[in-house]
């Protein structure tokens, strides 16, 4: 009888499985089948109880005001439906919320930089005026909202709103030579800054950086387009060991219409400038070229004096971040890895340590800010496990730590001004994105905003396999791992293994979070009989300083060894076919997969590399030298792991893909690899996507790319 029941249940399971849909690449890349609902980017208002968002109503763009409590709509602040107001896609309020800066015709330049046409709308007078007649970059209101500073053609301007007057405050800006108030390419990419000017708290001064990139080597790539002739696109790009832009710091006195150059000690990098609460005090963070010694200087605009008041050093490198808050007395909150894990610290205004606020074998992964009224700091951390993220509060004495999010998985918060509320974004491997409103004081959930239940129901229609999280013992380390098996997995059978990784310093792929597009592709491959595994090896993040920085000076060496060893260990499992092991990755992960199939040619039979670095000599100064120092100082660190130096090791099937318009990892990397393989007379497959950048997208590009990769895997693994 039990046998009959077991047979019936098995038959029912097979029927249900047969009824579930198979994922297609069109589902992932064309049809929007797995599109996730999100919360529009919102801006909290000064009262702390309301927020605004951009909405689109019958073709018009609107700024709509809502109340957090109950998410009740309170009205439309501004609409492009009025004849004089153009459609806009970005906006920002002045500090007193009396004016709105709106952006139109916005277009991207590089990863973070944008250019567009901007207007100021005054709410009381219902008047609109253009900031400039031409496209501009990085506009910012003065603190009292009467002026807007911005950059045009590499020069800084000030727009006086009341007088409708424009003042040019620098005049030496020139493409390819001098940049005022904006970062160059490498600062934008590696220090995550675009605007390189800041108003002080009273609006009396603007501090700005000047980049002299005259001697920085020029990089050129052809743009093929649709015209009869292609044309070169050129920009300054300092490759490892080459000359960076020369930097200088300047102060502009708005009232006196005068400039002063700040005489800093000789520095290599100025990754951050930030005014203190006192309007005459500016802080300047500097780094040496090795990026292992950060100094923070205090500049006094009253006499332009420069004093060193804080330092941070590390045997490897110091990470740059924005986790800096000056309190009312100019004591400051800061995050550091000084005890081996990233934690919160409180320093006196003179730079001396007051106390460590958080501690433990876990990391602070996001700093949300300080509530001065209630003496509470809000942050995200890995205290519940390195693959988890939760939101906490704690007071400045390191007491009364409160867990504000309860659901396991990944939680991140967006707080209202005054820290009355926060919107929590929660997701996990089994739960799509959910957006909920909470009280900041205790984390109590007030209401569900969006739950993506429709997506969860759609996903349930497909034959999806659960992610199995575990750790894999590799050498002396327990490495985080997830595995996706076919839904009809049978341990008595054998399956091909495809490993996915990125492995870059401080990164993480094995996290308890909802599917990205690659996850759906991996699920599709699992439906077709493949086992997918992802292992975060040495050098990845959120397991402490020593684990992350263990790859210092030997980038890709230990990471590759971990992937090869992990593949060998997994291949010992009875259900994995050790003769059918593949690996793939993108960017840093493409470098990894290339090295894995060469140095692990007795382990991997197949590899796919998308937009890979193939020599760190080709990559930029800031990123590369942070982990390797310069090629002159560490030639072995550069060349021993450069795969075009040992193409003869290739035995398996290899697919190499790149976009010809990649301004980040230049197609030069793949061209050198291609030539090396040709000269070694090694067969391989490759594809170049014309004019596509590092993301290789646009139109049907991603669909075509994943069709190519899918066919390659099915034909060879």
Residue 99 in contact with residue 120, Cβ under 8 Å? yes
Instruction: Give dist(CA 104, CA 532) in Å, integer.
Output: 44
pLDDT digits (tens, 9 = 90+) for 478-521: 999 999 999 999 999 999 999 999 999 999 999 999 999 999 99
pTM: 0.94
The reported pLDDT for the residue numbered 17 is: 46
pLDDT at position 9: 38
Q: Give the side-chain half-sphere CA count within 13 A for 434.
A: 21
With 0-12 / 13-18 / 19 or more C-beta atoms within 10 angstroms meaning exposed / middle / buried, residue 450 is: middle
- Determine contact, residues 582/713, Cβ cutoff 8 Å: yes
> For each successive 10 residues of the chain (717 residues), what is the average pLDDT?
40 49 96 91 93 88 93 92 84 97 93 94 93 96 97 98 95 97 97 97 97 97 95 96 97 95 95 96 97 97 94 97 95 97 97 97 98 97 98 97 97 97 96 96 96 95 96 97 97 98 98 95 98 98 98 98 98 97 98 98 98 98 98 98 98 98 97 98 98 96 98 98
Task: Convert the pLDDT of each residue in 576-610 to its tens digit.
Answer: 999 999 999 999 999 999 999 999 999 999 999 99
In 3-state terms, what secondary structure has residue 460?
helix
Confidence (pLDDT) at 5: 38
Residue at token pair 């046998």: 3
| CA atoms within 13 A of residue 689's CA, in its CB half-sphere | 23
Q: Using CA atoms of 624, 628, 631, 635 in order, give the dihedral in degrees to the nearest 10.
A: -140
**What whole-number distance in Å separates Cα of residue 363 and Cα of residue 321?**
14
CB 107 within 8 A of CB 114: yes
Nearest to 674 by CA among 584, 618, 612: 612
Domains (range + CATH), the chain: 39-168 (2.130.10.10), 175-320 (no CATH), 464-716 (3.40.50.1820)
Q: Where are the beta strands (DSSP E) in 396-460?
A: 402-403, 410-415, 421-427, 434-439, 445-450
What pLDDT is recorded for position 346?
Answer: 98
Centroid of chain to Cα 606:
29
The predicted pLDDT at position 512 comes to 98
């Amino acid at each position: 009888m039990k046998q009959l029941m077991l047979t019936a249940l098995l038959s029912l399971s097979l029927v249900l499985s047969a009824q579930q849909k198979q994922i297609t690449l069109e589902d992932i890349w064309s049809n929007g089948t797995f599109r996730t609902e999100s919360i529009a980017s919102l801006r909290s208002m000064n009262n702390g109880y309301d927020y605004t968002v951009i909405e689109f109503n019958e073709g018009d763009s609107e700024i709509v005001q809502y109340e957090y409590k109950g998410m009740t709509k309170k009205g439309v602040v501004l609409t492009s439906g009025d004849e004089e107001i153009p459609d806009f896609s970005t906006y920002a309020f002045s500090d007193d919320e009396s004016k709105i800066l709106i952006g139109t015709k916005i277009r991207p330049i590089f990863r973070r930089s944008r250019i567009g046409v901007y207007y100021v709308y005054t709410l009381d007078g219902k008047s609109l005026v253009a900031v400039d007649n031409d496209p501009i970059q990085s506009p910012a209101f003065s603190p009292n909202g009467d002026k807007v500073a911005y950059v045009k053609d590499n020069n800084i301007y000030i727009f006086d709103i009341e007088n409708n007057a424009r003042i040019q405050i620098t005049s030496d800006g020139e493409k390819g030579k001098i940049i005022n108030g904006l970062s160059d390419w490498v600062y934008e990419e590696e220090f995550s800054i675009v605007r390189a000017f800041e108003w002080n708290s009273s609006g009396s001064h603007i501090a700005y950086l000047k980049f002299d990139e005259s001697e920085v080597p020029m990089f050129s790539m052809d743009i093929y387009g649709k015209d009869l002739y292609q044309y070169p696109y050129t920009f300054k790009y300092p490759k490892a060991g080459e000359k960076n832009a020369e930097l200088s710091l300047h102060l502009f006195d708005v009232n006196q219409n005068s400039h002063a150059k700040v005489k800093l000690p000789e520095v290599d990098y100025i990754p951050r400038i930030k005014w203190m609460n006192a309007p005459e005090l500016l802080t300047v963070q500097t780094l040496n070229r090795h990026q292992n010694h950060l100094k923070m200087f205090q500049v006094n605009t009253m006499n332009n004096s420069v004093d060193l008041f804080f330092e941070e050093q590390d045997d490897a490198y110091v990470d740059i971040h924005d986790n800096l808050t000056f309190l009312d007395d100019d004591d400051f909150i800061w995050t550091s890895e000084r005890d081996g894990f990233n934690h919160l610290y409180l320093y006196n205004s003179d730079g001396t340590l007051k106390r460590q606020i958080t501690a433990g074998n876990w990391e602070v992964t996001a700093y949300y800010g300080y509530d001065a009224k209630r003496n509470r700091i809000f942050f995200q951390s890995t205290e519940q496990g390195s693959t988890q993220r939760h939101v906490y509060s704690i007071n400045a004495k390191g007491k009364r730590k409160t867990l504000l999010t309860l659901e396991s998985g990944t939680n991140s918060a967006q707080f209202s001004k005054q820290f009355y509320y926060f919107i929590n974004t929660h997701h996990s491997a089994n739960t799509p994105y959910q957006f909920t409103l909470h009280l900041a004081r205790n984390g109590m959930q007030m209401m569900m905003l969006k739950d993506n239940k429709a997506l969860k129901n759609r996903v349930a229609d497909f034959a999806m396999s659960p992610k199995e999280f575990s750790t894999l013992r590799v050498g002396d380390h327990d490495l985080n791992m997830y595995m996706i098996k076919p839904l009809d997995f049978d341990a008595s059978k054998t399956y091909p293994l495809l490993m996915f990784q990125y492995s870059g310093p401080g990164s993480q792929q094995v996290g308890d979070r909802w599917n990205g597009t690659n996850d759906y592709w991996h699920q599709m491959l699992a439906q077709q009989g493949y086992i997918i595994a992802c292992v975060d090896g040495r050098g990845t993040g959120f397991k402490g300083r020593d684990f992350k920085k263990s790859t210092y000076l030997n980038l890709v060496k230990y990471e590759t060894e971990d992937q090869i060893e992990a593949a060998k260990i997994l291949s010992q499992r009875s259900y994995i076919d050790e003769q059918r092991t593949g690996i793939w990755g993108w960017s840093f992960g493409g470098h990894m997969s290339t090295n894995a199939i060469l140095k692990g040619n007795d382990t991997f039979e197949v590899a796919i590399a998308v937009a890979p670095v193939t020599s760190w000599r080709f990559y930029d100064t800031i990123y590369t030298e942070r982990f390797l120092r310069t090629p002159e100082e560490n030639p072995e660190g550069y060349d021993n792991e450069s795969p075009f130096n040992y193409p003869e090791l290739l035995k398996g099937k290899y697919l190499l893909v790149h976009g010809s318009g990649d301004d980040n990892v230049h197609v030069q990397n793949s061209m050198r690899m291609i030539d090396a393989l040709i000269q070694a007379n090694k067969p391989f497959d490759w594809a170049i996507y014309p004019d596509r950048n590092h993301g290789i997208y646009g139109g049907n590009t991603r669909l075509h790319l994943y069709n190519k990769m899918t066919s390659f895997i099915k034909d060879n693994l």
